[in-house]
Amino acid sequence: MAVDAYHITASHPDGLGAKLVMERALEDAEMKPEDIDYINVHGTSTQVGDVSEAKAIKNVFDKHAYELNISSTKSMTGHLLGAAGAIEAFACVMAVNQDIVPPTINHKEDDKDEYIDYNLNFTFNHAQKRTVRAALSNTFGFGGHNACVIFKKYAK
pLDDT in tens, 99-154: 999 999 998 877 788 889 999 999 999 999 999 999 999 998 777 788 999 999 99
Q: 136: closest CA among 148, 126, 127? A: 148
List, for residues 79-93, the tens digit of each pLDDT value: 898 899 999 999 999
Counting beta carbons within 10 angstroms of the beta carbon of residue 14, is it exposed (0 to 12), middle (13 to 18) or buried (19 or more)?
Answer: middle
pTM of the full predicted structure?
0.93
Average pLDDT value for the chain: 92
How far apart CA 70 and CA 10 sit, in angstroms, is 21
> Three-state DSSP class for 95?
helix
In the prediction, which pLDDT does 111 show? 76
How far apart CA 136 and CA 124 sit, in angstroms, is 18
In the prediction, which pLDDT does 6 show? 72
List, for residues 112-124, the tens digit of each pLDDT value: 888 899 999 999 9
Percent of the chain that is helix, strand, coil (3-state, to 5): 40, 20, 40
The Cβ of residue 82 has, within 10 Å, a number of other Cβ atoms equal to 7
In the prediction, which pLDDT does 29 show? 97
In the prediction, which pLDDT does 1 show? 80
